[in-house]
Structure 1
Amino acid sequence: MSDDIRNVRTALSAITEHWQPHRLASINDYDVKVVKLRGEFVWHTHPDTDELFMVLDGELTIQLRDRDVVLEPDDVFVVPRGVEHCPKADGEVHALLLEPQGTVNTGDAGGDMTSTLRELT
C-alpha cells in the first residue's frame, strides 16, 4: 500500500447502500473496511478468522447465541473465529472492520446479502 491518506468520514459519505463493505486500506494480508449498517444481517460464522468491529457512529448489537454485545461509538469487539453471530442495527451505524483479505461478509451462510468487496473511489 502506498502512503496515500484516506479519510474515514469522507469514505463513509460516499457509501449509499447498507451492508456493502468498502475497502479503505490494506495492511499486510488484511483489509480495513468501512460500512454502513441498518437492520438485521444474517446469522453466520467465519470458520478460519476473527472479525473486528469498531463502531464510529450509532449503536450496533452483535447477537451471539449466548448473549448480545452492544457497541457504541469508539467501541471495539472481536468476534472469534467460528463463533456464530448476527449484527443488528436499529438505526444507521457507521463501522470499521478489520478482516483478512478475501473474507466474505456472510461467512459460511452465503445468500442474498453476500457482497463483493467494493473499492472506494
Structure 2
Amino acid sequence: MPIENTVQNLPDRIAKITKSWTQQHVLSLNDSHSIKIATFEGDFIWHSHPDTDEVFYCVSGGPFYIDIATAEPDSEIEREGYTTAELKVGDILCIPRTIRHRPRAPVLTGVTLTEKIGTVNTGDEADKSVLTVNLKEGQ
C-alpha cells in the first residue's frame, strides 16, 4: 500500500469538484476507514449505513443540513418525524450506523466524510438511486 504522506489542501481539492454529491477519496486510516471530500447542493435521499457510522465535517460554503429520522418505516419519516442538524463551516457531526438520514444543502457546500472503506454513499438505498457512487479507494 502506498504511503499517503502528501499534504493536501481540502478547500482547494473541493473547489475542483464539478458535480454535486460526487465523492473523492483523500486518504485511508488504519486500512479500515476512508476520508472523502464532496460537494453538496440540493437534496440527497433518505438512507442509512448498516455497517458504519458516518462523520460529516463542513469545510466550505454552507450551511448544510442533515435530517435525522425519528420515525420508522422510511415511508413515514417525512410525515411522522425527523430532527434536523445544521452544520456551518467548522462543524462536525457523527451519524451512527443504522440511523436513517438525508443531507440537504441549499447552497454549494464542501464537506469531508469519514466512514469505513467501501461504504456506498447511498447506503441501503444503493440499488434505488441514480446518486449512487461506489467509490474505489484511491479515486
Range of TM-score over shorter length? over 0.9
Match of residue 75 from structure 1: 91
Match of residue 48 from structure 1: 51
SS state at 1:3 partner: coil
Match of residue 25 from structure 2: 23
Does the 8 Å CA contact 1:59/1:72 hold for their aligned counterparts?
A: yes
Does the 8 Å CA contact 1:54/1:74 hold for their aligned counterparts?
A: yes
- In the alignment, is residue 64 of structure 1 matched against residue 68 of structure 2? yes
**Cα drift, residue 108 of structure 1:** 0.3
Match of residue 108 from structure 1: 124
**Cα drift, residue 116 of structure 1:** 3.1
Does the 8 Å CA contact 1:105/1:114 hold for their aligned counterparts?
A: yes
**TM-score, length basis structure 2:** 0.81
- Structure 1 unaligned spans of 5+: none
RMSD of equivalent CA atoms: 1.3
- In the alignment, is residue 85 of structure 1 matched against residue 104 of structure 2? no
The percent identity for this pair of structures is 32
**TM-score, length basis structure 1:** 0.93
Match of residue 9 from structure 2: 7
Runs of 4 or more, structure 1, over 4 Å off, are none
**Cα drift, residue 84 of structure 1:** 0.3
Give the greater-gyration-radius structure (CA). Answer: 2
Does the 8 Å CA contact 1:20/1:117 hold for their aligned counterparts?
A: no
The number of aligned residues is 120
- Structure 2 unaligned spans of 5+: 70-81
